[in-house]
Structure 1
Amino acid sequence: MIKIRRIKSNIDVKGQINRYGFDYVLSDGLNIICGDNSSGKTTILSCIYYCLGMEQLLGGNKDKILDKSLRTSFSINSINYTVVYSEAILEIENDDGKKATIKRVIKGRSTENSNSLLVKETYDSQKSTKTYFIHSVGDHENESGFYSWLKQFSGIELPQIYQDDGSKVKSLYLQNIMSCALIEQTKGWSDLFSQMPYFGIKDSKTKVVEFLLGLKSLENDIKKDIFEQEKKDLKKDWASYLENFNQYMSRYSIQIDGLTEKYDSRITANTINRAKLYFIDSDNAILVDKLIKDIKKQLLDLSINVNSENNSLDKTNKQSDIIKSVRVLNKQLRELENKKITEKYKVEDYKKLVEKNKYNIDQVSGIKKIKKINDLKIINQCPTCNSELTHESRLELKEDKIDFDKSIAFLKSQQDLYQSYIRSSAALFEKLDSAILYYRKELNDKELQLNIIKKDISDINDLSREKIYQEIKLNKDILDYEAVNRELVTLKSKLKDIFDEINDINDKLESLKLNKLEDAQQILGFSNIFKRYLEQFEYSSNAISSVVIKDDYPAKLMPFIEIFRFDQPNEVQPIRLNSSASDFIRAEWAYYFALLISSNKHPGFLVFDEPGQHAMKTSSMQKLVSASEVCKKQIILTISKSLDKKNKGDSSEKNKVNNIEIITENNNCENINIIDIDPENKFKCIQALK
């Protein structure tokens, strides 16, 4: 755990020798940073985020999270100053008494890199200085990575999970953990852990709470995710093997029976072994093994009758049969070719629609950003229903009547449908091409056979060209279909391996035994603390007894309201959906405080930026201050200093009350470090440094 001792910024300006910035010292317990709106409270906190490398929690890079007074310019007494260099400095201390000063450049001159942090450590009489990198591969593992150093300094040991092959799996990042300690005023109060970066971690909120509470289920949940991903990959391999096999078999008009491209949990080893191949001839399906036997019999019959007398009538009848067969094959071939042409035109149309939709999305997005329709000519269709707009209806368009978000969502959903069809068309074209190739080959064979029979009919010699051709063709068919059977054997072997691996993973999933009793006790303790804080902070939307911490997925370890149903199972709903806006803020206070008190893996401090959201009652703010004072942890609150008196439209100084005096009136102010950014209500936090 760590404590924040000091936050400072140094700013050099154009044409000035003096330095500007701010410099504030923080105490172990409750710290209240106060000032009027836009005085710079959030600017101070953003420097704490920045020095800890936590700008992702604020939604982006330094240009998005740091005020322009730190990057470009600021004014004091109506005099403008241009920033030429700036840096943020944070002093922290860990539980061992080791201190560290972190310096990070905000605006550099030329050689400074904002993704390099200079850290000076002091312990007893020993001092060391080292530069660490951030926001690059290895910043969590490399000894020169900043997050690697911060983990070691703060004593936060992230869980290390290893796969069977010995490779390490990244389970949580330091940014995930810090989201329980740093809550900013705009996005931070919209939901629990709403600032947490995604990082592709499944159920990341639950995993963070499991980690903080030291639950045994964390490692198992991470391993479960790994196993589930391995199963997903194996099922993809299954689908790929069968898809490729089916495309190859379509050349011979052969289909596999008993196995589908989608893996089914009901599949057994016998299911794979029993799979058979069928030759599809028009509406008839013939087992390939039987087909091989039939061809061999035809070959035998042909060799027996090779020296028999030619029968001109038989040959003529055979000629008629082949002509009929050629007509049927030609018809089927034309149908397939026409279908391919139709699909090509359809795909081309969808590609045009994709481009058109992309243009429409760009246009509506642009209108949304500037909140004004500059050119009605660009709006040819309704963004929501896609119907044509007449000139008169375009003139009646009003910006305040258009839901841009819904329009963009509708257009994107259309885009997804078109692109999905275009992607799936590739597989369809492959199947059509294979089928067309098969029918063309069959036609060529029939036409060759027809020509040979014609010559045999007109030839007076005993030698039958048609029978020689038949013998060659039948031998080739036998070789082809036997090769097809060998391909099936290879496929079954691959599918059996996948089946065995999936079964092995299922066994591993079953063997993930949780120490549920120990975890349940931890969760119960956390739940009780959470409820005590809810009551203390005056939560009233629901009875405290109906509040539960969910112990299973989905949303495991998140707060819910249990709704009692007569003669029906009780229902649970998220506390956010069943609380007033101000009560949900109280619930967030309670949840973050409960984590701070319950965890020995917590960063060790809480930063609440403007916690008095949604016209919070003064008494609740007083309760928050009291809880912060007595919890024996470092709490940093930024709170507006002055509030307008009730029932007064005038917001002048004489009609304002000192909010800090009111919310701390029940507390011993000697235990509270109140940092007034501007006691005289004249300046912002950026001032000339002494």
Structure 2
Amino acid sequence: MLKINRLQIKIITDQGDYGIDEQFYEGLNFLASDDNTCGKSSIIEAIYYGLGFEEIIGGKGEKVLTSAYKTFIEDNDQKLSVVESKIYLEISNGLEIVTLYRTAKDLKRDSKLVTVYYSSLDKINDDDILIEDMYVHMKNSATNIKGFHTFLEKFLHLELPLVPATDGKQRKLYMQLIFSCMFIEQKHGWGDIFSGIPVLGIKDSKKRVIEYVLNMDTIDTEKKKEELKFEEARIRNEWIIEIKELQNAVNRETCSVSGVPLEPCEFTQISADGIHIFKEKKPLDIFIQELKDECEKLKSIKPRVIDNFDELQNELEETEKDIDQFEEEIYSLRSQISKENAAILILNDNLEIIETDLQNNKDAAKLRQLGSEIGCKSFENICPVCNQPIADSLLPVMEETEIMSIDENIRHLEAQKVMLSYARESHYGNKKVIDERLQLLQGKIFSLRRLAMALRNDIYSINDNMSESIVYKKIDLLNKIEKLEVLQKFVDKKLDNLLTLGKDWKKMLDGKKKVPRKKFSSSDYDKIEQLKIHFIENLRKYGYKSVANMDAIQISEESYLPVIEEFDMKFDSSASDNIRAIWAYTIALMQTSMEKKGNHPGVIIFDEPNQHSIIPEDMEEFFNSLLDLGEKSQIIVGITVKDTDTKSEIEKLPTELYHIIPIASKAFQKIS
């Protein structure tokens, strides 16, 4: 829980110090003044600021505070320049007490710095008091150990969950969001339920706040779903990478692969055994063994050129024949690439023309629409002079020739664009296949030419030197064997990775099965129903009249906000009833949390709840419902008691059940 014990504000001017020093108690506290411009909101702002929650007011740092903290304060008819301003806030979690110190104006101290004194305010200068400096509204201030909101979360025993952010990541549910549903400030807070909630990049932030405050099971369910969703995405991404790397490695060695699952699955050893690599239509291990056998045979051949001239001549002829065939194919492939490039170039030009025509037609359509709005007949396809129909084309029109309208042109051009784009992608695909074949043939020709050169050297050798062709063949075979064995090891490694991913995939699928199919648990349904009951009871107490049949009000299972026939209840509410609805919902949230063991911190602040001239009887009921929350909660109400009705309603309350802090004509009085 959070309890505000004491607030001390010091504003230092060149003509003395000003400020306040007030205590708050459990139960109902009134900050009351005779006028609405006495500075109650400035005092309440100091509570937000001291907690680092000023984003509820509308921004970060001292800029959201009133001028009394930054520029000048008024004393009678004088405007006194502010030199420094300091805020001390003593808070409790029910067991421990700390004092928070933050400046709004100080040349030596940044407003992002928060000092925590592990003591009550009156003991912060004692020698044995632990003091710690922290930062707020900076990166990781909600997660790092020196982040102030990290400390505050731990101090208040909140244990904030990770929730989906708008950028697709998981982030902590920020404290500013949670307290925006219980700190209703004057300027923006009375527009709607949660209208003061800051935008901090949390997806469905209002929904997440209510789930947390009511301690709903769905927040864990949603968390598990998001975790499983991210785990599935991770496995898919890694699976695609592993398969792509495997296929690229296989293709580089002009091999083929079969049995590879392109999508993630429960990959087991049996699945791995079903994947086969082929080289020249032979299993890779068999092909490697054949190369090794061939290499062994070469070792038994006498490596000298003596009686094998005819054999060498025949081998050279076969090699040169293969080179000629490959060169012819390369020539043909290069010719095909040239044709594909020419086709792509033409398609690019055509697409550019279509893009231009499409944009021109869209512009013409926009102008026509704009022209029709201002009554220009030429854009209505009517001559402004003779009022005769005119076509969209300046070309001579034959009697039976029908010219397409601008809208028809746009549809036709968009269809052409899709067709040409598809054709271009097809040509790009063809070119890629041809390029891969071309690179393969060029590598083969390079090897064959080196073999032919070695054979010629053997044929024209004048002595019985070592056979270059045999030596070359050995080297070539050994290189091939080495590359293919490296490929085999690489494939085995990738299969091991797929086995690991397969286990992760099975674990993820098992996790999905364990996630409840129903959106809400029975406990969640009870909490939503209890929230609805309290909300409607509160509306009745406060004299809500905009809905004749209160039983028609429901709590949306999508947003957890009040609706009537699936529409926001606000649309059917008068201005004063909208204020009553905000009272009712804010209090119902605390009531439900207290009864259902939720996470509500137990504090509510209402700044000027008497909006739109609420009648006295309803204000009395409102005050009584605040008293009914009991001493386990703390309610702070900033209120103007200028009219006798409001004052009399407060005076009707048992004096022992509330505490009132009277505010004079100016909240900040001279203290030295």
- Alignment TM class, shorter chain as reference: 0.5 to 0.7
Distance 2:63 2:343 in 1: 53
Contact 1:238–1:495 at 8 Å: present in 2 too?
A: yes
Give yes or no for the alignment of 1:9 onto 2:9. Answer: yes
Give yes or no for the alignment of 1:496 onto 2:499. Answer: yes
Q: Identity percentage over the alignment?
A: 23
**Judging changes above 3 Å, is the alpha-carbon distance between structure 1 residues 596 and 90 closer, same or farther for their aligned structure 2 residues?**
same
Q: Secondary structure at the match of 2:551?
A: helix
Distance 2:471 2:614 in 1: 100
Distance 1:49 1:111 in 2: 19
Deviations 1:545-570 (A, max 9, x none): 3444455xx64xx225374xxxxxxx
Alignment of 1:34-73 (within 5 A): 34=33, 39-73=38-72
Q: Which amino acid aligns with 2:13?
A: V
Tell me which residue corresponds to 1:326: 330
Q: Secondary structure at the match of 2:115?
A: strand
Q: Which amino acid aligns with 1:525?
A: Q
What root-mean-square deviation, in Å, do the aligned CA atoms of Structure 1 and Structure 2 show?
Answer: 5.7
**Judging changes above 3 Å, is the alpha-carbon distance between structure 1 residues 86 and 309 closer, same or farther for their aligned structure 2 residues?**
closer
Deviations 1:204-261 (A, max 9, x none): 6555444433445555554554454444434333333334444545544667666577
**Judging changes above 3 Å, is the alpha-carbon distance between structure 1 residues 292 and 479 closer, same or farther for their aligned structure 2 residues?**
farther
Q: Secondary structure at the match of 1:117?
A: strand
Alignment of 1:84-103 (within 5 A): 84-92=83-91, 95=94, 101-103=99-101
Tell me which residue corresponds to 1:79: 78
Q: Secondary structure at the match of 1:134?
A: strand
Q: Secondary structure at the match of 1:599?
A: helix
Q: Secondary structure at the match of 1:540?
A: coil
Distance 1:114 1:559 in 2: 34
Distance 2:338 2:253 in 1: 18
Q: Secondary structure at the match of 1:498?
A: helix
Deviations 1:613-653 (A, max 9, x none): 6x575476665445335443433334566xxxxxxxxxxxx
Distance 1:469 1:331 in 2: 33
Q: Does 324-333 or 618-627 show the bigger shift? A: 618-627
Q: Which amino acid aligns with 1:89?
A: Y
| Equivalent position to 1:110, from 102, 108, 111 | 108
Alignment of 1:351-500 (within 5 A): 439-440=438-439, 442-446=441-445, 449=448, 476-477=479-480, 479-500=482-503
Distance 1:544 1:134 in 2: 49
**Judging changes above 3 Å, is the alpha-carbon distance between structure 1 residues 296 and 95 closer, same or farther for their aligned structure 2 residues?**
closer
Q: Does 290-299 or 198-207 show the bigger shift? A: 290-299
Q: Does 475-484 or 589-598 show the bigger shift? A: 475-484
Q: Which amino acid aligns with 1:495?
A: L
TM-score, normalization by structure 2: 0.64
Q: Secondary structure at the match of 1:526?
A: helix
Contact 1:295–1:474 at 8 Å: present in 2 too?
A: no
Q: Which amino acid aligns with 1:561?
A: V
Tell me which residue corresponds to 1:561: 563
Structure 1 unaligned spans of 5+: 162-168, 280-285, 343-348, 350-380, 397-428, 564-571, 642-657
Contact 1:292–1:481 at 8 Å: present in 2 too?
A: no
Structure 2 unaligned spans of 5+: 163-169, 302-307, 347-351, 353-358, 375-427
Q: Secondary structure at the match of 1:29?
A: strand
Tell me which residue corresponds to 1:401: none
Tell me which residue corresponds to 1:636: 636
**Judging changes above 3 Å, is the alpha-carbon distance between structure 1 residues 235 and 317 closer, same or farther for their aligned structure 2 residues?**
closer
Distance 2:20 2:77 in 1: 19
**Residue 506 of structure 1: how far off its partner (Å):** 3.4
**Judging changes above 3 Å, is the alpha-carbon distance between structure 1 residues 451 and 215 closer, same or farther for their aligned structure 2 residues?**
closer
Contact 1:8–1:23 at 8 Å: present in 2 too?
A: yes
Distance 2:329 2:567 in 1: 67
Deviations 1:468-514 (A, max 9, x none): 87786566445534543432222121012012023224334544679
Distance 2:254 2:41 in 1: 70
**Judging changes above 3 Å, is the alpha-carbon distance between structure 1 residues 582 and 267 closer, same or farther for their aligned structure 2 residues?**
farther
Find the structure with the greater CA-based Rg: 2
| Equivalent position to 1:540, from 539, 546, 549 | 546
Q: Secondary structure at the match of 2:283?
A: helix
Distance 1:322 1:176 in 2: 71
Tell me which residue corresponds to 2:179: 178
**Judging changes above 3 Å, is the alpha-carbon distance between structure 1 residues 581 and 266 closer, same or farther for their aligned structure 2 residues?**
farther
**Residue 48 of structure 1: how far off its partner (Å):** 0.4
Contact 2:216–2:524 at 8 Å: present in 1 too?
A: yes
Deviations 1:365-419 (A, max 9, x none): xxxxxxxxxxxxxxxx9xx999999xxx9xx9xxxxxxxxxxxxxxxxxxxxxxx
| Equivalent position to 2:625, from 601, 621, 627 | 627
Distance 2:122 2:87 in 1: 25
**Judging changes above 3 Å, is the alpha-carbon distance between structure 1 residues 481 and 668 closer, same or farther for their aligned structure 2 residues?**
same
**Residue 80 of structure 1: how far off its partner (Å):** 2.8
Distance 1:524 1:478 in 2: 73
Distance 1:25 1:455 in 2: 101
Contact 2:6–2:91 at 8 Å: present in 1 too?
A: yes
Tell me which residue corresponds to 2:134: 134
Deviations 1:517-564 (A, max 9, x none): 44443443333212322443416358543444455xx64xx225374x
Q: Which amino acid aligns with 2:63?
A: K
**Judging changes above 3 Å, is the alpha-carbon distance between structure 1 residues 315 and 507 closer, same or farther for their aligned structure 2 residues?**
closer
**Judging changes above 3 Å, is the alpha-carbon distance between structure 1 residues 328 and 172 closer, same or farther for their aligned structure 2 residues?**
same
Contact 1:541–1:580 at 8 Å: present in 2 too?
A: no
**Residue 87 of structure 1: how far off its partner (Å):** 0.9
**Judging changes above 3 Å, is the alpha-carbon distance between structure 1 residues 505 and 266 closer, same or farther for their aligned structure 2 residues?**
closer
Deviations 1:573-628 (A, max 9, x none): 66567867766554443222112222244222211234466x57547666544533
Deviations 1:3-31 (A, max 9, x none): 434433211112x1x21234455453152
**Judging changes above 3 Å, is the alpha-carbon distance between structure 1 residues 323 and 149 closer, same or farther for their aligned structure 2 residues?**
closer
